[in-house]
Amino acid sequence: MSDANPLVLTGVELVDGSSTDLAIARGRFVDVADAPGDAQRIDASGLLALPGLVDLHTHLREPGKEDAETVETGTRAAARGGYTAVFAMPNLDPTTDTAEAAQYVAELGLRDGHCEVVPIGAVTKGREGAELAELGLMAAQGVRVFSDDGACVHDSLIMRRALTYLKPYDGVVAQHAQDPRLAGPSACCHEGEVSGRLGLPGWPSVAESTIIARDVQLAEFTGGRYHACHISTAESVDVIRWAKKRGRAQVTAEVTPHHLLLDTPHVETYDTTFKVNPPLRPSEHIEALREALADGTIDIVGTDHAPHTVQDKDHPFDVASPGMLGLEESLAVVMEVMVHSGRLDWAGVADRMSAAPARIGRLAHQGRPVAVGEPANLVLLDRSRRAMVDRARSASKARNNPYHGLDLPDPVELTMWAGKVTFRR
Ligand SMILES: NC(=O)N[C@@H](CC(=O)O)C(=O)O
Ligand SMILES: [Zn+2]
Ligand SMILES: [Zn+2]
């Protein structure tokens, strides 16, 4: 990580289309007239500045599975992708289900992070779905996002209690929506023509949407905050749209970059890189997700960056570990499918990938506009640059990159977190 010397970025373009010089000192954007005389100047003409991206859904694997990813490598990938904050999912070893475990993850972030690392607490002890974890103690420690991700909070009473209990703490339950009866542990391919032909256990779309339908009603009933992680189906979009239209529940939703771009036929080669939970869906679902992200029914893009070792992926498709990388290519995917298609403008990208995830995670100093007085978190983009994705060049330790070999935008020129340059091409 570079030091935090004063800096002036000249000729930067902002999301409203205007151009400006940006001065950075003591971790904040300051008036250019107030920039110290010895400030280093960087020519940034033509580059677009977005607020530093915020990922509400990252798997860092430390502690417990450091052969797949560490806080150092995962946050290096994050900085390379334009992120200045990531929320670390609690499916670690030990599980982040106590205040001490949450504090430990936060400390690893302070020690090794190339961006801010915010621990997510488990909803239930050991993520086993039976007994509530130490929600109050974790909340007292500053945790605001709670999730059993990787597992679904499938017991209705546990979900009711979690929503109720977290309400006074302004905490949010982030649900991995997968009915374990409709989509059990072996389910690994969208249930339909392809799963039938390949002989893979099916993961029907309703295994996701029926859980979300129940949950949004519980959110309305309890008044608690609810966030639907990685939604992947048109039916889930319908449910979220219905709940938001009613306007009586505090409900938000997320989509991953891979569910915005990649469809079910990618699994036809049985390449386990493409095994993920929830599974890749047919094109009509992808279309519904893009439309929902554009109109705000889906609030944010969350990467679900899920590094796995080769050993954990080198198995028959139905037993390999699910999950794929995402931190380094998420902005590229959003550019390709949302911006280049005219569905979302740059202010929309800043909202879905920075302001909204920071708001849902209650991270007040992230997701702020690029403006004088604000914390100096930004990513500078060259909107015309493209490159072939090469998994071998990833900052992540893992190689389960589903975009390998694709020609995609490669926009990130510089990432700055709290006034420090954390990535520069
Ligand atoms: N998405 C995945 O397929 N895997 C995630 C867990 C999860 O997000 O459910 C992982 O931790 O590997
Ligand atoms: Zn999940
Ligand atoms: Zn996840």
Atom of ligand 1 nearest to the CA of 230: 8
Give bridge partners of residue 10 from the DSSP assignment.
43
Give bridge partners of residue 138 from the DSSP assignment.
none
List CB contacts of 214: < 8 A, sequence separation 6 or more: 156, 159
Binding residues: 57, 59-61, 91, 149, 176, 230, 277, 304, 308, 322-323
Q: How confident is the model at residue 2 (pLDDT cuts 50, 70, 90)?
A: very low
For ligand 1, atom 8, the nearest C-alpha belongs to 150
Q: In this structure, are residues 86 and 61 in contact, taking their beta carbons and an 8 Å threshold? A: no
The letter for the amino acid at 146 is F
Binding residues for substrate: 59-61, 91, 277, 308, 322-323
CB atoms within 10 A of CB 83: 35
Binding residues for Zn(2+): 57, 59, 149, 176, 230, 304
Cis status of the peptide bond prior to 278, with omega within 30 of 0: yes
Q: How far is the CA of 59 from the centre of ligand 2 (A)?
A: 10
pLDDT the model gives residue 1? 42
pLDDT the model gives residue 297? 98
Indicate if the alpha-carbon torsion angle 367, 402, 277, 306 is positive or negative: negative
Q: What single DSSP character describes residue 375? A: B
pLDDT the model gives residue 238? 98
Nearest to 49 by CA among 408, 376, 387, 301: 376
Angle among Cα 364, 366, 369 to the nearest 5 degrees reads 105
For the chain, give the mean pLDDT. Answer: 97
For ligand 1, atom 2, the nearest C-alpha belongs to 323
Is 3's pLDDT higher than 60? no
| Paired sense of beta strands 378-381 and 48-51, if any | antiparallel
Nearest-Å Rg of the Cα atoms of the chain is 21
Active site residues per annotation: 304
Q: Which of 55, 149, 189, 313 to mutate to test the pocket of ligand 1 (most atoms within 8 A of CB)?
A: 149
Estimate to the nearest angstrom the gap between the alpha carbon of 89 and the chain centroid: 10
Atom of ligand 1 nearest to the CA of 89: 11
Is 210's pLDDT higher than 70? yes
Q: How confident is the model at residue 37 (pLDDT cuts 50, 70, 90)?
A: confident
Q: Which of 60, 67, 91 to mutate to test the pocket of ligand 1 (most atoms within 8 A of CB)?
A: 91
Residues 247-288 pLDDT 10s: 999 999 999 999 999 999 999 999 999 999 999 999 999 999
Q: What single DSSP character describes residue 200? A: P
| Whole-number percent of the chain with pLDDT over 90 | 97
pLDDT the model gives residue 5? 81
Residue 176 near ligand 1, beta carbon < 6 Å = yes
For ligand 1, atom 4, the nearest C-alpha belongs to 323
Q: How far is the CA of 6 from the centre of ligand 3 (A)?
A: 37
Angle among Cα 116, 121, 126 to the nearest 5 degrees reads 135
Q: Which of 55, 59, 60 to mutate to test the pocket of ligand 1 (most atoms within 8 A of CB)?
A: 59
**Least confident range of 1-10, 12-21, 43-52, 322-331:** 1-10
pLDDT the model gives residue 166? 98
- Average pLDDT of the residues in 400-424: 98
Residue 276 near ligand 1, beta carbon < 6 Å = yes
- CA dist 74 and 78 (Å) reads 6
Complex-level ipTM: 0.99
Q: In this structure, are residues 189 and 279 in contact, taking their beta carbons and an 8 Å threshold? A: yes
Nearest to 6 by CA among 22, 33, 26: 26
State the ligand closest to the CA atom of 56: 3
Residues 370-381 pLDDT 10s: 999 999 999 999
- CA dist 40 and 5 (Å) reads 8
Domains observed in the chain: 7-47+375-424 (2.30.40.10), 51-360 (3.20.20.140)
**Least confident range of 25-39, 68-82, 189-203, 293-307:** 25-39
Residues 344-396 pLDDT 10s: 999 999 999 999 999 999 999 999 999 999 999 999 999 999 999 999 999 99
- Average pLDDT of the residues in 398-405: 98
